[in-house]
Structures are given as C-alpha cells and as structure tokens.
Amino acid sequence: MSLEKPLPTGPTAAVPHQVGRTKPGAPRPAAPPELSFTGRVHANAMQDATLWDMARRIPAALGRTFRLAWSVDRHMVVTVLLCQLLSGVGTAVMLASVADAMGPLFGSADAAAGLHRAWPALTATGIFVDIGLPVGGFVDVLLLPMASERWPEEGTVAEFELWWADERPQVRLKPVDRHFLRDDFDEWLSKWRPGWPAEHGQNLPEDTTLAEAWVNATATPLRGTGVVTGFTAETEETLRAAGWFPGRHVSVELWRERLEESGEVRMHEAAKSFLAEFGGLSVWIGGQGTTCAKSPFNFDAECLVGEEGRFAEWSQTIGRDLFPIGELDEGRFFLGIDQNSEVYLVETWVATFGPAQDALEKLVLGVAPETIARA
C-alpha cells in the first residue's frame, strides 16, 4: 500500500510542480544548504561551520582541486602556475620601482614639499628645444632631475648631445650640463642604455651641430617661443607633446601612393596640406572631456588602406570629396578631410568636427562632432 501526499487546497494554496510517492517511514530529504546574508555562519546543513572552520579546510580543498586538475590536463596546470609566477615577479618589480621612486620623492622631512617639487616630473613629458632644424628637439623627462627647479628655463642657451633619432620628425636630446640631468644618471644609463653614445638611432646630416641650442619651451606649459598658433594652451601643449611644432612639414607621398592605388579616393590640396603638417602624429589622451570622453587619435593615413571604398561612398552621399587622414579611439572610428579642410568622423554614419583647426581643438578637448548623415 502506498501513501500519496494530498494536494493543498484553498484559494491561495500553492500547487507543487511534482507529486512523489514515498515508502512508509522513509526519512524526508534534508533541505539544501543555504548561506546567510550576514556572512558569519551558514544556515541549515552548515549552520555550525564558522569562518575559521572553513579557512582550515582551504588547503585540503586546494589540494584536491590541484590533484583533479593534474589528472585532467597537466600541461594546463603547468601553464597556469607559470603565469602566476610571472605575475608575481612583475608585481615584485613594480613594487620595487615604486619603492625606489619614493625615496627621492619624499626624501625631505616635508612630504608635501617633496611632492610639490616633483610634480612637474610626474606630469610633464619633457621640454622642447629649438635646434635650428626643420625638426624640433626634445628632452625626455626621464633624463631630467626629479626637482623641476633644476630644469632649464625657457630661453636658456645650453649644450646638448644627440640621444636618439629615428623616423619620427623629432630629435631626442640629452643635456651636457649635469645640473640638468637626473642625480643617478650614470647608474640609470648603465642599466637602460649601456650602448649609448654609440647607439643613437639614425644619423643626422654631417653639417648638423648641436653644440648650442635654444630651449624654446619649459615643461609647464610646454608652449612655443611666441609663435601664434591659434590653438588654446591645452591643445598646443598636447600637439607639441605628440611631436608637432609650428612650420612642421613631412612628406605625404607614401600616403598618396598607398591610398590612391585603389582609384577610389584622391588626395586633394586640403588633405595634402593637413597631412604635411600633422601627418604621422599620435595623440594619446583620455579622461573626461567637454561634451564627451577624450579619446586617443592619430593622423597615420596608411592605417586606412582598405577603407577607401567607405570614404568614396560617403563622399557621394554627402557631396564632399573625403580623403582618409587617420583614426579615432584606436581604430574604432575613422577620420577624413574634405576639399574645404573640414574634418569628419567616418563610420556607419558621418559627423563633422568643423574646419581643421576647430577639429583639432575638439579632438583634444573632448567635444563630440555633429552628425550629418547615417547609413
């Protein structure tokens, strides 16, 4: 004979999803374990387990987990352990570097004063130097003293040595006067650039001399020598930090050749003029902007090879001759310029940043463009 559990009755009774049959005298199954919201003890089956009890079981649980994983995939276990080891080494190196930097930073009795003295070295990228060439000179902040009052001031005439030169339109310099160098320069040099001065990148022209150069900008505010650029202070500082300077001019033939090869776009004079001055720059910014978040952007038109069709289609749609000039937000959006020097965001829609100079201001300051067409 079997007993069937009667169904509950009444207008508000809940009907169970399943009715089971049990043998007479069979024990009822225990309720599943639950966790209390206090986090101190468990309810029901784990009611008497304390935090200490659970902590003591962790080594045994880890051991069982390791043995199970080892029996399933030994190679993966070794890989995970190796990654954890490398992560620990990286963290140790980072902490050691931070500890090494804290000494010079807070070496004085007054920590606030030490931070004030070191603040430019923590926030600036370096100083710009006029070396009398079509390209500008630049001293990286890593070479300069932690105390910013020892940096060469604007207008200082000083001697510099070639530190590095490559395809970028900028010459990296090292001050000759040790007063302008970090205190541990010799030790730092032996650790990070032991091959210098034999290793200095590309050679400069033979008639180039860097015996004396004019420091045309300090780290704050990183502006020029009185040349009126039309940019706001923040925009000019950001562009200079990326390698731009008044009168900058680079060749655009590679971009013309690569992008015109498809026959879908044509480099007009406005695109040629813009890329000659700003081509090749990469601006790494972020954070809160005026109307939208600031995003990194670059003017390397070669990154848009393969997107010529997109620009040709939008050119026909909006009645403007768009030419690719770069990327916004690390390739998420494309940038183009029309024959009237107006800069656009190009994706599955088109938005305008306005004339070139206004566009640069908006890109640096974080001002959203105005949408003019959608797919």
Q: What are the pLDDT digits (tens) for 18-75?
A: 444 555 566 666 665 555 545 544 445 556 667 787 788 888 888 888 888 888 888 8
Q: Is the pLDDT of residue 267 over 80?
A: yes
Span 250-271, mean pLDDT? Answer: 93
Cis before 197? omega within 30: yes
For 113-152, the pLDDT digits (tens) are 655 555 555 556 677 887 766 667 888 777 888 777 788 8
For 311-329, the pLDDT digits (tens) are 999 999 999 999 999 999 9
What's the pLDDT score for residue 156? 75
Q: 116 is written with which tokens? A: 């004030």
* DSSP 8-state code for residue 347: S
Q: Enter the pTM of the model.
A: 0.44
Alpha carbon of 199 to those of 169, 195, 246, 299, 367: distances in Å? 19, 5, 29, 29, 42
Q: Is the pLDDT of residue 368 over 50?
A: yes
Q: Is the pLDDT of residue 208 over 80?
A: no
What's the pLDDT score for residue 66? 84
Which has more pLDDT, 366 or 42?
Answer: 366
Where is average pLDDT lowest: 122-131, 145-154, 178-187, 354-363?
Answer: 122-131
Q: Is the pLDDT of residue 215 over 60?
A: no
Where is average pLDDT lowest: 14-23, 221-230, 271-280?
Answer: 221-230
Judge whether 336 and 315 are in contact, CB under 8 Å. no
* Domains of the chain by residue range: 47-105, 119-226, 253-374
What angle is formed at CA 90 by the lines to CA 84 and CA 94, rounded to 5 degrees?
Answer: 145
What's the pLDDT score for residue 255? 93
Most confidently modeled range among 152-161, 221-230, 234-243, 328-337: 328-337
Where are any strands of DSSP class E within the chain? 3-4, 21-22, 34-35, 42-43, 126-130, 136-140, 157-158, 160-165, 170-175, 213-217, 282-283, 297-298, 323-328, 333-337, 342-346, 349-355, 370-374
What's the pLDDT score for residue 209? 43
